[in-house]
């Protein structure tokens, strides 16, 4: 490059950085942008989502080998096949995930159905009482307690408080306590637990009156039911209606023997205006209490923690010191049940 300093130079790179770690690829991408591109033109090909700079999408060209046409280069992702745009989709997905995990307050729930019910019932509570889920919470479906440790690790240094809304079984409690022991050693804040109801173990579906939720199930599974389900037909003694339905579906073979919690939730979301009149005041009162318990998990010290982190420039050192102060005050699970 020194020999061609005074002339025009184009650098062509074919799949650079393939042997590098994903983060090292991003470093190499930054090196090309900051050190090479000011001095010469750089063209490179890649299949790696970590070699794509999403802040400079105008630079990206998609290359497709089309039958009978040959190699086609375009900046239009819409008219390219799925394989061609896949690296770009992966890069966008990674960026979205990072944006999600940047929230300082994360409420982890079991499944997308929990997210839907929190949104739907939360909006109804807000319309009626003005009380809504604190906007600082980001709700993340994690797929069960087995995945909690992984998700907490993925949050890295970004979070101030993490709350979990799942069934407080002895096994689940043990998993949370294991995470909190690890967090305490590392100076991280403990994971807090929020139960759906104070009375007993319950899923979020148990906020509904059983007959109303069963009505929702009948509507959402109408094409697969030979007869309407009643409370008498699902005689399983488990107080949690979802568990009763799982047992009934498994016994009768309905929908392949599997009750999917997401099906009624999706139906409610799509048909909310038609169904909302069936949702009782008792359900909304329970939902309001749940919202208040969730919001109570963001404490004043959590807000101070964010402020201190912001003043410190968000550095890893200042974050760790700030978290150590909070962790010394809250060393156990904060359960609201």
* CA dihedral sign, ordered 328, 195, 169, 199: positive
CA distance 268 to 187: 42
Q: Do residues 41 and 10 lie in contact, with contact meaning Cβ atoms separated by under 8 Å?
A: yes
Identify the pLDDT of residue 181. Answer: 86
SS (H, E, C) the chain: CCCCCCCCCEEEEECCCCCCCHHHHHHHHHHHHHHHCCCCEEEEECCCHHHCCHHHHHHCCEEEEECCCEEEEECCCCCCCHHHHHHHHHHHHHHHHHHHHCCCEEEEECCHHHHHHHHHHHHHHHHHHCCCCCCCEEEEECCCHHHHHHHHHHHCCCCCEEEEECCCCHHHHHHHHHHHHHHHHCCCCCEEECCCCCCCCCCHHHHCCHHHHHHHHHHHCHHHCCCCCCCCCCCCCCCCHHHHHHHHHHHHCHHHHCCCCHHHHHHHHHCHHHHHHHCCHHHHHHHHHHHHHHHHCCCHHHHHHHHHHHHCCCCHHHHHHHHHHHHHHCCCCCECC
- Per-residue pLDDT of 175-185, as tens digits, reads 788 888 887 87
pLDDT at 116 over 90: yes
Strand 62-66 with 70-74, pairing = antiparallel
pLDDT (tens digit, 9 = 90+) per residue, 138-194? 888 888 778 877 777 777 666 677 888 887 667 777 878 888 888 787 777 778 878
Residue 13: exposed, middle, or buried by beta-carbon count in 10 A (0-12, 13-18, 19+)? Answer: middle
Looking at residues 79-86, what average pLDDT do you find? 76
- CA distances to 64, 78, 85, 89, 154 from 81, in Å: 8, 8, 7, 12, 31
d(CA 318, CA 307): 11
Residues 6+ apart with CB under 8 A from 285: none
The answer to whether residue 122 scores a pLDDT higher than 70 is yes
Exposed, middle or buried by CB within 10 Å (0-12, 13-18, 19+), for 248? middle
CA neighbours closer than 13 Å in the CB half-sphere of residue 37:
11
Radius of gyration of the chain (CA): 26
Query: pLDDT above 70 covers what percent of the chain?
Result: 80
Per-residue pLDDT of 260-287, as tens digits, reads: 999 999 999 999 999 999 999 999 999 9
CB-based contacts of 139, cutoff 8 Å, min separation 6: 107, 108, 109, 114, 115, 118, 119, 133
What token pair was written down for 123? 């909006």
pLDDT tens by residue, 198-246: 666 788 999 999 999 999 999 999 999 999 999 998 876 788 899 999 9
Longest dimension (CA), the chain: 87
121 vs 328, residue with greater confidence? 121
Distance CA 232, CA 210 (A): 11
- Single out the residue of 101, 109, 163, 122 nearest to residue 330, CA to CA: 163
């Amino acid at each position: 490059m020194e020999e061609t300093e005074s002339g025009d130079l184009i650098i062509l790179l074919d799949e650079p950085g393939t042997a590098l770690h994903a983060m090292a690829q991003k470093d190499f991408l930054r090196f090309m942008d900051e050190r090479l591109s000011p001095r010469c033109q750089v063209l490179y090909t890649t299949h790696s989502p970590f070699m794509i700079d999403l802040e400079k999408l105008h630079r990206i060209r998609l290359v497709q080998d089309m039958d009978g046409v040959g190699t086609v280069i375009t900046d239009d992702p819409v008219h390219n096949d799925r394989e061609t745009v896949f690296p770009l989709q992966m890069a966008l997905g990674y960026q979205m995930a990072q944006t999600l995990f940047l929230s300082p307050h994360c409420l982890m729930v079991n499944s997308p159905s929990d997210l839907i019910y929190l949104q739907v019932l939360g909006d109804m509570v807000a319309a009626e009482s003005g009380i809504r889920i604190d906007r600082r919470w980001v709700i993340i479906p994690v797929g069960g307690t087995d995945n909690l440790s992984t998700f907490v690790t993925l949050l890295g240094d970004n979070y101030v408080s993490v709350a979990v809304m799942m069934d407080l079984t002895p096994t689940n409690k043990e998993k949370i306590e294991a995470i909190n022991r690890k967090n305490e050693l590392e100076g991280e804040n403990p994971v807090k637990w929020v139960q759906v109801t104070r009375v007993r173990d319950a899923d979020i579906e148990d906020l509904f009156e059983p007959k109303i939720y069963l009505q929702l199930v009948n509507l959402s599974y109408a094409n697969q039911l030979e007869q309407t389900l009643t409370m008498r037909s699902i005689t399983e003694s488990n107080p949690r209606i979802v568990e009763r339905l799982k047992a009934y579906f498994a016994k009768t073979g309905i929908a392949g023997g599997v009750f999917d919690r997401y099906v009624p939730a999706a139906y409610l979301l799509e048909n909310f205006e038609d169904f909302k009149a069936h949702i009782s005041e008792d359900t909304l009162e329970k939902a309001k209490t749940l919202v208040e318990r969730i919001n109570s998990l963001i404490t004043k010290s959590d807000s101070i923690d964010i402020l201190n982190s912001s003043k410190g420039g968000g550095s890893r050192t200042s974050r760790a010191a700030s978290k150590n102060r909070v962790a010394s005050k809250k060393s156990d699970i904060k359960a609201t049940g």
